Amino acid sequence: MFATLSDRLADTFKNLRGKGRLSEADIDATAREIRIALLEADVALPVVKEFVAAVKERARTEEVSGALNPAQQVIKIVHDELVTILGGEERRLRYAKSGPTVIMLAGLQGAGKTTLAAKLALWLKDQGKAPLLVACDLQRPNAVNQLQVNGGRVGVPVYAPEPGNGTGDPVAVARASIEEARRKLHDVVIVDTAGRLGVDAELMQQASDIRDAVQPDEVLFVVDAMIGQDAVVTAQAFLDGVGYDGVVLTKLDGDARGGAALSIRQVTGRPVMFASSGEKMTDFDVFYPDRMASRILDMGDMLTLIEQAEKAFDQESSMKAAAKLAGQGGEFTLDDFLEQMQQVRKLGSMSKILGMLPGMGQMREQLENFDEREIDRIQAIIQSMTPAERGNPKMIDGSRRARIAKGSGRQVSDVNQLVDRFFEARKMMMQMARGGGMPGMPGMPGMPGAAGGGKRGKAKQQVKKGKGAKKSGNPAKAAQEAAAAKERAAATPFGTPGEAIDYESAAANLDLPKDFSKFLK
């Protein structure tokens, strides 16, 4: 969604790097680039002016002029101002103190209200609520049927006494739904209303009548994030005609410039509360301004990734896999690998998951071209193996690889590649699980290229060793130096060479980290 804006801002900040001090000309040039980036992203002009003025004002303070790295300070300022115009902090739903909480959805035609109603119902269900969907869109053909289908997909009942398709009284349906919710013990009612145009006075009045009939605790304005600058005009028209408490952005996974998200909060004063970013019913979550600002600046969104992983992953199987990688409970096999890969798939597309990592904006083209079917191919190869082969991949010889390739519809080279990568990945994960660092990384203990690790480390030690310590030619002085060396060795916790060593008492004299004793066994 924010690809254009992210790229322009990244190029702007790149020009600041390496400068020990920012001049007035540097600040003006940066502000100009930020203004262009925001306008190209379809952010409303009043919001752009306010944003750029705030950045310039803060960039001229001692906060930046006295900083060791002015470029990072400017990035921090832009991040803070983005968080501000996006709302500052997340806004949670207000629930009624007694009786069912009523949530009314309003918005333009085609904004995705009916689908969003089901997504919201599923989200509330996961929060421990018992929602009821109400079909009050009696204008659009098959709108009632669509809500019933979506309700069935998420396991939430739908109250739909009227068939719709231009017949029925939506106000009466909305009013009756409250009693239905009380009778069947639903604690949240989600009212899906008809889509309308900002200039459609009749449907605007209908939305106002529904609002007056049910007295909703929350009125949510559903807006398509891809409609650009017109989002602000529409949002203001609905605010004047119906009124609402919060905004829900849909289609955040689209390829539009995303200016709506940056404009609505600042212009209308109403917070963005939820965001929908995909076709699946689970592609829906609370809108976090700080996380969205981090995504725009290519800082990643690790918190959202962690939260999604906690929901999707089976903790017990993950703990078992971690124990195997740490050398406990058997060896990590291809069955474990496949199980973990299937859990990762529950998070959604791999390109979306990887896009939440910091710095991945620089690899956007590769992520967009990532073939999601590659995981299916890997799964087909693994499932074409026998249980014994999955448990012990070392036994997979040439004839077995040919049979596996034929059974999975792949080439032998694909099987070879998978097995080789599995061994490499397992070695790396075991090294990390045991606290040894990343294999092949310079400076990591015990790794090739590390000081004192591998052949290269030993070679360096031998070079540094040289000819050894020199001895004095004076016999009396040489004896004195030998006695001093022996005394220094005796002062160490491990005693002098050749003596029996009590390692436990020696370790007690050292200032070792907590739980370090397990490495001495």
Residue 190, domain CATH: 3.40.50.300
Integer CA distances (angstroms), 242 to 41, 379, 511, in order: 28, 52, 69
Q: 119 with 281: CB under 8 angstroms?
A: yes
Is 509 contained in some domain? no
Query: Domain check: are 135 and 265 in the same one?
Result: yes
Query: Domain check: are 110 and 185 in the same one?
Result: yes
Query: Domain check: are 385 and 312 in the same one?
Result: yes
pLDDT in the model for residue 131: 93
| Last residue of one domain, picked from the residues 299, 324, 359 | 299
Query: Domain check: are 340 and 372 in the same one?
Result: yes
| Burial class of residue 166, CB neighbours in 10 A (0-12, 13-18, 19+) | exposed
Is 92 contained in some domain? no
Tens digit of pLDDT per residue, the chain (521 long)?
Answer: 566 677 777 777 777 776 667 778 878 888 888 888 888 777 778 888 888 888 888 877 766 655 557 777 778 888 888 888 888 778 888 898 887 999 999 888 778 888 999 999 999 999 899 999 999 988 888 889 999 999 999 999 999 998 878 788 899 999 999 999 999 999 999 999 887 665 567 777 888 888 888 899 999 988 887 776 677 777 888 888 788 888 888 877 665 556 766 778 878 888 888 888 777 888 888 888 887 777 777 665 566 666 666 666 666 666 776 776 666 656 778 888 888 777 777 766 666 666 666 655 556 566 666 666 777 888 899 989 998 888 888 888 889 999 999 998 988 998 998 888 888 878 877 776 666 444 443 333 333 333 344 444 444 444 444 444 455 556 666 666 766 665 554 444 444 444 444 545 555 555 555 554 544 44
Is 146 contained in some domain? yes
Please name the residue that has the structure tokens 């106000």. Answer: 171
Residue 339, domain CATH: 1.10.260.30
Residue 37, domain CATH: 1.20.120.140
Domain tally for the chain? 3
Please write down the long-range contacts of 397-405, taking CB distance under 8 Å and 24 or more positions apart.
405/381
SS3 at position 46: helix
Range of the domain at 7: 3-85
| Last residue of one domain, picked from the residues 385, 407, 433 | 433
Q: Is the pTM of this model over 0.85?
A: no
Query: Domain check: are 231 and 356 in the same one?
Result: no
Query: Domain check: are 355 and 288 in the same one?
Result: no
Helices (H), 278-411: 289-296, 302-312, 315-325, 334-345, 350-354, 364-368, 373-383, 387-391, 398-408
Q: 277 with 256: CB under 8 angstroms?
A: no
Query: Domain check: are 194 and 324 in the same one?
Result: no
Is 76 contained in some domain? yes
Integer CA distances (angstroms), 462 to 127, 132, 135, 446, in order: 63, 76, 80, 17
Is 114 contained in some domain? yes
Measured CA to CA, the distance from residue 186 to residue 174 in angstroms comes to: 15
Nearest to 293 by CA among 73, 76, 30: 76
Query: Domain check: are 149 and 109 in the same one?
Result: yes
| Last residue of one domain, picked from the residues 269, 299, 329 | 299
Query: Domain check: are 247 and 327 in the same one?
Result: no
Measured CA to CA, the distance from residue 36 to residue 348 in angstroms comes to: 34
Is 428 contained in some domain? yes
Is 50 contained in some domain? yes
Integer CA distances (angstroms), 475 to 482, 483, 487, in order: 11, 12, 18
Is 508 contained in some domain? no
Query: Domain check: are 30 and 113 in the same one?
Result: no
Query: Domain check: are 271 and 377 in the same one?
Result: no
Query: Domain check: are 361 and 346 in the same one?
Result: yes
pLDDT in the model for residue 402: 92
